[in-house]
Amino acid sequence: MSEFSRADNRAANQIRPLRFQNHIAPHAAGSTLIEWGSTRVICGVTIEESVPRWMKEQKVEGGWITAEYSMLPYSTLTRKPRDISKGRLDGRSSEIQRLIGRSIRAAIDLEKIGARTICVDCDVLQADGGTRTAAITGTFVALSLAVNKLIAEKKIAESPILSGIAAVSVGIVDGTPLLDLCYTEDVAAAVDMNLVMNARGEFIELQGTGEEATFTDAQLVDLLALGKAGIKELLAAQQLAISQG
């Protein structure tokens, strides 16, 4: 894998440079700007002191987490019209925000947050591949900051976080398994996969497809090994960002 030449000269098993800029949105309960290579996503968490009506009607205890995802018009090389201009949510955006919601709910004991709704907003400032994995990875940092604020304000007695979570992409380009695909690699990939995992090494979600191609058991094993190693790096970077407040 080390002999494979990537556009940015990374090794096949190397993630792009990663940085978190916390408190980017002062009015949010928790927020961070995740800069992952040339992909930049603002992840903000706000908290509403109520739950969805369906929870009240069904007498469901605890709280809820919901997520929204959008790509700003200037995030791509050519302007991407806002969803509101089309009168409906883009199918890709809808799929990604459901993925973010599922992933974050897997990290939280919903009963421990009380009758509250945690609202996650992910806005892509610049897209160069991996916006969904960046959104999930950044959201966990923003969520942790919001939870710390709830505890400090004595609104909850203990942390509801069950485990850290992070997400990363892997794929096969020119027959070589690669970790953390940038855009040019993503569009050239014969196989594209996204992994969402927790700090216990458990899978939350796997999204893998052959792009007009197939892949073998051995290739899948290689991709999962790359992804697991990448997740460990991301979890460590997240904890450092959270510890810095």
- On the question of pLDDT at 3 being above 70, the answer is no
Q: Does 48 fall in a domain? A: yes
Q: Does 9 fall in a domain? A: no
161-170 pLDDT tens trace? 999 999 999 9
Q: Does 7 fall in a domain? A: no
Q: Does 134 fall in a domain? A: yes
Ramachandran angles phi, psi of 195, nearest 5°: -115, 135
Which has more pLDDT, 6 or 88? 6
- On the question of pLDDT at 2 being above 50, the answer is no
Handedness of CA 216, 222, 227, 232 (dihedral sign): positive
Q: Does 195 fall in a domain? A: yes
- On the question of pLDDT at 75 being above 60, the answer is yes
Range of the domain at 155: 18-243
Q: Does 13 fall in a domain? A: no
Give the rounded distance of the alpha carbon of 229 from its chain centre. 16
Q: What is the arithmetic mean of pLDDT over 138-165?
A: 97
Q: What pLDDT score does 83 carry?
A: 77
Instruction: Look at the chain and report how many structural domains it folds into.
Output: 1
Closest CA to 12 of 223, 179, 174: 179
Q: Does 11 fall in a domain? A: no
Closest CA to 118 of 90, 81, 144, 92: 144
Q: Does 2 fall in a domain? A: no
Instruction: Give whole-number Cα distances, 75 to 16, 123, 134, 141, in Å.
Output: 18, 9, 14, 22
Q: What pLDDT score does 7 carry?
A: 80
Q: What pLDDT score does 85 carry?
A: 67
CATH number of domain containing 198: 3.30.230.70
Q: Using DSSP, state whether 30 is helix, strand or coil.
A: strand
